[in-house]
Amino acid sequence: MTRRPSRKERKEQIILAAAGMFAEKGYANTLVAEVASAADIGKGTVYEYFRSKDDLFFTVFEYFVEQTRRVAEEALVGAAGKDAAGKLVAYSRAIIAWMAGHRHIYTLSLEFWAASVSASPELRDRFEGSFMETYEAFRKIVADIIQEGMDSGMFQKRVDPRAIASGIMGAWDGLGLQSMFDPAFDIEKTAEAYIKLVINGLMNETT
Amino acid sequence: MTRRPSRKERKEQIILAAAGMFAEKGYANTLVAEVASAADIGKGTVYEYFRSKDDLFFTVFEYFVEQTRRVAEEALVGAAGKDAAGKLVAYSRAIIAWMAGHRHIYTLSLEFWAASVSASPELRDRFEGSFMETYEAFRKIVADIIQEGMDSGMFQKRVDPRAIASGIMGAWDGLGLQSMFDPAFDIEKTAEAYIKLVINGLMNETT
Amino acid sequence: MTRRPSRKERKEQIILAAAGMFAEKGYANTLVAEVASAADIGKGTVYEYFRSKDDLFFTVFEYFVEQTRRVAEEALVGAAGKDAAGKLVAYSRAIIAWMAGHRHIYTLSLEFWAASVSASPELRDRFEGSFMETYEAFRKIVADIIQEGMDSGMFQKRVDPRAIASGIMGAWDGLGLQSMFDPAFDIEKTAEAYIKLVINGLMNETT
Amino acid sequence: MTRRPSRKERKEQIILAAAGMFAEKGYANTLVAEVASAADIGKGTVYEYFRSKDDLFFTVFEYFVEQTRRVAEEALVGAAGKDAAGKLVAYSRAIIAWMAGHRHIYTLSLEFWAASVSASPELRDRFEGSFMETYEAFRKIVADIIQEGMDSGMFQKRVDPRAIASGIMGAWDGLGLQSMFDPAFDIEKTAEAYIKLVINGLMNETT
DNA sequence: GATGAATGAGGTTTCATTCAT
DNA sequence: GATGAATGAAACCTCATTCAT
């Protein structure tokens, strides 16, 4: 005999069900009824927890952002103690591993990216703002590692840490994208070779 | 006095109007009536040229792919005669310049990416197939340049050309994405610094 | 320290809350939850006292009718001992004063009138029946006064007492209606002038 | 073979169908689908002509007001040339005859009255404003007749014409109401007796 | 007895698509 | 060939009512 879930648990249950459905069928093609059914609740119950389908969508997004940040945070912790190059490799591996391991969920990114341009103006602003903030957080982490490498003398090449961080992050997203279109794409192997090349670029002064 | 447009011109007129609307409001939020109105024709006329809204969407996508490939082709031609590093820089610049110069249209990518996951199964397959093909074409071009650099001895580092090509392309997409969320993001400067770092990585053997 | 209300008090508490809400927002636009909240009880509790929202509505109606009749009764008592003309004036004044003083509640009449035509067949019948009965009761009172005036010789004009009673009652309702649409409408002054004119008509034989 | 109706005719066709349905079942209990079906068109077509169900409702109201005013206008014309008392009788007869003859439509009044208090604030204001204007128009007509009667010396009693006009109009509405509840109520006979009494009151100076 | 979370039937509204002109 | 009025399936959302606690 299972107890009735708390309000918070019930809400998360719906968010997870919605995340799954949105990832699978896309936001526009997912019926609220399907989310409810996936969460094993009645259609009306969804509206007890979310004002509208849009509201649910944005909440799923926030949940997703939260998770993404936690992944980054954990990766950072796992990389502590290593030198700059080691940190970069470890950090990249963690991000890519998460993408590879949550391919099903990662699909949501595409939905969110699209929504950030095509949603209603109010929603769009919220998406855009959140994206900028999240990307900035990632960028700071990566740029700090690069700066540390330059400071320690490990990275000989003089670069703008933020620009390079942007490029590295871009590559992560872009590789994730390619793995989305091509199931045979080996994102982990590809990313591994790639980050090492970038690090090689950082370690050698241009002659 | 303007002559009546040919069937082909009329079709392109609709495609361009649709591209603009889809980029601006997103596919799902764009009404067929809006496309028709933007193309200065009647709503019913759209159906003289396209079987359905989905069909129009996919045609816009094909048109978009075609253009993208032409951009790549032209960039490649413009880079002919340079050495591998020069080609890479020129090629990257051309791609990024196109992104920066067609930001409004480039938004469509997000729609297409999302559709490749969330559209109806049939449409999804067509999207996925086309994406794989297009990415493969780009990948070949970039990988060939890298191979050429290694063959010529300019690139000292031994790498898997296809993997690195994937990473570079990923960075392009990912930087385009960041520029989409952040109007202040200077994609051309960032990409310039980044591609040079990657090239530096290629030119130096790991010690 | 307030004791727990008896079942009857609790029921009246709900009726009053419902009356207030229905008068303010209309029956259709009032949520059962709002009634409950206004009555300071839980939503489910309403259903401990009333079978359905319709049932609550009808009970409010009956309560309203009861009050209206009491008002009429009291007015009649207050007018006892006067002559026919005096009774008519006093009676009219009491009715109109009640309307003016309970403008907020009187709004309910409009809801009831509408319901008597547009509610479900069963409910409609109950409304119609109750209205006929109530109007008949009023009509009898007024007609009796008129008859008394004619009998006593005070009213010289020969009239059908019931027809005239209907007209007078109609004027009361109609004036109430006008005061509902126009906050500036002085119903008491208007009704006073009007009833005196009618009495003047009764007192003078047509020449 | 019937030609396709013009936009204006089609709109009126919907208004009439809606008026019938609203009168029969009440606004809240009428489905848009029922209106469409009564108008022999598709459900979606209703929305080609009206923004919303509320909008349709208000348009029906305006149509109703227009008709009511036309009735008053015609009645006034028909009464021209008579003396004040004759005008009053003719005018009253015309109004009451219209009510009696359009009982089916007149039911709508109850809906409109109720809406003027219970509809959404915006709609409510439009209703209220329109009612005040319409009542004022009627009031002016009746008051002018009374004034004319006093000026000509036919009406000996000194009265406030507007107050008495309000009372007479109130009686019309109130009698219509009674006839609505009671199918056996003979509104024409009752109104006839009543208006004559009122006129008697006007013709005789209070002694 | 009292409660309010859960429910889902039912209603409005949207919009891709058709087809008569 | 072009049009846009008409359509109705489909989807979101509301809210009276139930029932487990």
Provide the terminal-to-terminal Cα distance of chain D, rounded to the nearest Å: 72
Confidence of residue D91 (pLDDT cuts 50, 70, 90): very high
H-assigned helices in D31-120: 32-38, 43-49, 53-79, 84-101, 103-118
Query: Could you tell me how many residues make up chain B?
Result: 207
Of D110, D131, D202, the CB nearest to C117: D110
- DSSP, collapsed to helix, strand or coil, labels residue A193 as helix
Question: Do D177 and C113 make contact, defined as CB atoms within 8 angstroms?
Answer: yes
pLDDT at A1 over 50: no
A96 residue type, one letter: I
Neighbors of chain C with 3 or more C-beta pairs under 8 Å: D
Are D117 and C128 a contacting pair at CB < 8 A?
A: no
* pLDDT > 70 in chain A, percent: 98
Closest Cα in chain A to B23: A118
- In single-letter form, the type of residue at position B197 comes to L
State the average pLDDT for chain C. 92
Please compute the mean of the pLDDT values over residues A64-80 and round it to a whole number.
Answer: 88
Long-range contacts of C22-25 (CB under 8 A, 24+ apart): C22/C57, C22/C60, C22/C108, C22/C111, C23/C104, C23/C105, C23/C106, C23/C107, C23/C108, C23/C111, C23/D117, C24/C104, C24/C107, C25/D118
- Specify the range with the lowest mean pLDDT, choosing from A121-135, C23-37, C84-98, D149-163: A121-135
Q: Tell me how far apart the alpha carbons of residues B146 and C22 are, in angstroms, rounded to a whole number.
A: 78
Task: Tell me the pLDDT of chain A averaged across its residues.
Answer: 92
Q: Which residue places its CA closest to the C1' of nucleotide E14? A: D44
What DSSP string runs through C116-165?
Answer: HHHS-HHHHHHHHHHHHHHHHHHHHHHHHHHHHHHHHTS--S---HHHHH
DSSP state for residue B156 in the 8-state scheme: -
- Count how many residues are written for chain D: 207
For residue D207, what pLDDT is reported?
Answer: 66
**In chain C, which among 8-27 make CB contacts under 8 A with chain D?**
23, 25-27
B44 closest-nt by C1' vs CA: F3
Tokens of residue D6, six digits: 């013009």
- Look up residue C204 and give its DSSP letter: S
Give the separation between CA D101 and CA D95, rounded to whole angstroms: 10
Instruction: Give the CA A44 to C1' F5 distance in Å.
Output: 36
Highest mean pLDDT among A70-74, A103-107, A196-200: A196-200
- Scan for tokens 């107050």, then name that residue: D163
Predicted pLDDT at B94: 93
Task: Point out the residue among B157, B181, B199 whose CB comes nearest to the CB of A132.
Answer: B181
Asked whether the predicted pLDDT for residue A175 surpasses 60, the reply is yes
Whether D194 and C132 lie within 8 Å, measured CB to CB: no
Give the CA-to-C1' distance from D67 to E9 in angstroms. Answer: 39
Size of interface C-D (CB pairs under 8 A): 196
> Over the stretch C83-119, which tens digit does the pLDDT of each residue have?
999 999 999 999 999 999 988 888 899 999 999 888 8
Min CA distance, C138 vs chain D (Å)?
Answer: 12
Chains touching A (at least 3 CB pairs under 8 A) are: B
Closest CA to A72 of A141, A11, A163, A10: A141
Highest mean pLDDT, choosing among A9-13, A125-129, D179-183? A9-13
* pLDDT for B42: 95
Question: What's the gap between Cα D170 and its chain centre?
Answer: 12
C43 touches strand F (CB under 7 A): yes
Inspect the interface and report whether the beta carbons of C181 and D107 lie closer than 8 Å.
no
| C-beta separation of A135 from B178 below 8 A | yes
Please check whether residue C124 is in contact with residue C116, taking contact to mean a CB–CB distance below 8 angstroms.
yes
A–B interface: beta-carbon pairs under 8 A: 192
Per-residue model confidence (pLDDT) at position A4 = 74
Torsion, CA C135, CA C138, CA C140, CA C142, rounded to 10: -130
Collect all residues with Cβ–Cβ distance below 8 Å to D80 and sequence separation of at least 6.
D87
Give dist(CA D167, CA A75) in Å, integer. Answer: 84
Q: What 3-state DSSP class applies to A163? A: helix
* Neighboring chain C residues of D203 at a CB cutoff of 8 Å: 204, 206-207
B positions 144-183 inside 8 Å of A (CB): 157, 159-160, 163-164, 166-178, 180-182
Are D114 and C167 within 8 A, CB to CB? no
Three-state secondary-structure class, residue C2: coil
Task: Using an 8 Å CB-CB cutoff, list chain C residues near D180.
Answer: 113, 116-117
Q: Does any strand E atom come closer than 7 Å to the Cβ of A153?
A: no
**Integer angstrom CA distances of residue B74 from B67, B70, B176, C135:** 10, 6, 20, 91
Q: What is the pLDDT of residue C2?
A: 61
Burial class (CB in 10 A: 0-12, 13-18, 19+), D152: exposed
Task: For residue C22, give the amino acid letter.
Answer: F
- Distance, CA of C197 to CA of D157 (rounded, Å): 8
Strand E: positions under 7 A of a protein C-beta atom:
1-9, 11-21
- Residue A99 is inside which H or E element, if any? helix A84-101
Q: What one-letter code names the amino acid at C164?
A: I
| CA atom of A36 to C1′ atom of F12, Å | 13
Cβ neighbours of residue C105 closer than 8 Å, sequence gap 6 or more: C19, C20, C23, C64
Average pLDDT over residues D2-16: 87
Q: What is the pLDDT along chain B (207 residues), one digit of tens a residue?
A: 466 678 888 999 999 999 999 999 999 999 999 999 999 999 999 999 999 999 999 999 999 999 888 888 888 898 888 999 999 999 999 999 999 998 888 889 999 999 988 888 788 888 888 999 999 999 999 999 999 999 999 999 999 999 999 999 999 999 999 999 898 999 999 999 999 999 999 999 876
Residues 99-128 in C contacting D (C-alpha not used; CB under 8 Å): 107, 110-111, 113-120, 128
Strand E reaches within 7 A of the B159 CB: no
Would you state the structure tokens that stand for residue B76, as one six-digit string? 């490649």
Rounded to an integer, what distance in angstroms lies between the CA atom of residue D115 and that of residue D109? 10
In chain C, what residues touch D196 (CB-CB under 8 Å)?
206
Distance B45 CA to E18 C1' (A): 12
Dihedral class, residue B106 (left if φ above 0, else alpha if ψ from -120 to 50, else beta): alpha
Instruction: Please say whether the beta carbons of B185 and B191 come within 8 A.
Output: no
Token reading at D85:
């008392």
Contacts of D31 (CB under 8 A, 6+ apart): none
Q: How many helices (H) and strands (E) does chain D have?
A: 9, 0
Supply D161's token pair.
């014409």
**Which amino acid makes up residue D73?**
E
Best of C200, C202, C205 to disrupt the D interface by mutation (most D CBs within 10 Å)?
C200
Band of pLDDT at residue D60, cut at 50, 70 and 90: very high
Flag if B167 and A107 touch (Cβ within 8 Å): no
Q: Is the CB of A2 under 7 A from strand F?
A: no
Q: Round to whole Å and give the CA distance between D202 and D184.
A: 30
As given in the structure block, the two tokens for residue B130 are: 């086309």
Measured between beta carbons, the chain B residues lying within 8 angstroms of A183 are: none
Instruction: Report pLDDT for A76.
Output: 87
Q: How far is residue B21's CA from residue B18's CA, in Å, rounded to a whole number?
A: 5
Tokens of D35: 């209106």
For D170, name the nearest residue in chain C, comparing CA atoms only.
Answer: C174
pLDDT tens string C157-186: 999 999 999 999 999 999 999 999 898 999
C126 vs B197, higher pLDDT: B197
Residue D168 token pair: 């007479």
Distance from CA(D44) to C1'(E18), angstroms, rounded? 14
Among protein residues, the one whose C-alpha sits closest to the C1' atom of E20 is D4
pLDDT value at C197 more than 60:
yes
Q: Which chains touch B (3 or more CB pairs under 8 A)?
A: A
The pLDDT value given to residue D1? 45
